[in-house]
Amino acid sequence: MYPARRKHTSTYSASDIESPTFWHPNTLAQAGDRVLYVQVINPDNNIIGDKSNITFGQDLLTYSKSESVFYENQALDVCAIVGNAGQDVLKGLYTINIFDAQRQIGSTTLMLK
């Protein structure tokens, strides 16, 4: 059996959104098992995907997908596939935020035509 092929596209008919993440080494992050939280916000300002919640103290984070990684104080490639869970994929600008616990460590945008 061959692995499924993923086609990169900028058209809004895509059913999944791929969140590219590149985690740079830094002196604040400790090596070891980590959970990264990916938050994908559609053009209507709604979070898509799993829409799960996690609480850090008094802070509530709603996220689209989580990914467990082992961080070794070196640059780390992480890719999370966020399904649209039957929701309509809209044309427009998507915002993708990456969190390590409650701390935002990255953000980017994606335009679907």
Is residue 93 in a domain?
Answer: yes
Domain that residue 41 falls in: 22-112
- Residues linked to residue 27 through DSSP beta bridges, in sequence order: none
d(Cα 31, Cα 76) in Å, to the nearest integer?
Answer: 12
Prediction pTM value: 0.75
Is residue 3 in a domain?
Answer: no
Question: In this structure, what CATH number is given to the domain that contains residue 28?
Answer: 2.60.40
Is residue 44 in a domain?
Answer: yes
Non-local CB neighbours of 93 within 8 Å, separated by 6+ positions? 43, 109, 110, 111
Nearest to 113 by CA among 29, 42, 10: 10
Is residue 17 in a domain?
Answer: no
Is residue 49 in a domain?
Answer: yes
Is residue 4 in a domain?
Answer: no
How confident is the model over 65-94, as pLDDT tens digits? Answer: 999 988 888 777 778 888 776 666 788 999
Total domains in the fold of the chain = 1
How confident is the model over 15-70, as pLDDT tens digits? Answer: 455 555 555 555 556 788 889 999 999 999 999 988 999 999 999 999 999 999 88
